[in-house]
Amino acid sequence: MALELRPNCEFCDKDLPPDAPDAMICTYECTFCRDCLERELQNVCPNCGGGFAPRPIRPAREWRPGLSLAQRPAGTERHDLSYPLEDIRALSAKLKNIPPGER
């Protein structure tokens, strides 16, 4: 199963196309831009409390049969946060000093 490659930052709604170098994801594929991750979220996913990694860029060219952006396109459904900003900031403050592997 391929990553969904969500099309937007769930915090600021910035477009994050499949080749966006600043797209970051958590283990549940929650997607944020690097700016929001550093400025607002402090490397704490507001949904699961985990950390983030750079979202891989899916190859545009089909190097192997059926494996490319053309054959497995990025998601089109935009996502947004379901928690109030105050709750997000409280969770980030609580977890920001705990390494993701220890949360």
For the stretch 6-59, pLDDT in tens is: 999 999 999 999 999 999 999 999 999 999 999 999 999 999 999 999 999 999
Mapped onto helix, strand or coil, the DSSP state of residue 63 is coil
User: How far is residue 12 from each of residues 1, 40, 56, measured CA to CA in Å?
Assistant: 27, 10, 20
List of domains in the chain = 7-73 (3.30.40)
Give the pairing of strands 53-54 and 23-25: antiparallel
CB atoms within 10 A of CB 54: 12
The predicted pLDDT at position 54 comes to: 98
C-alpha–C-alpha distance, residues 44 and 87, integer Å: 12
pTM exceeds 0.85: yes
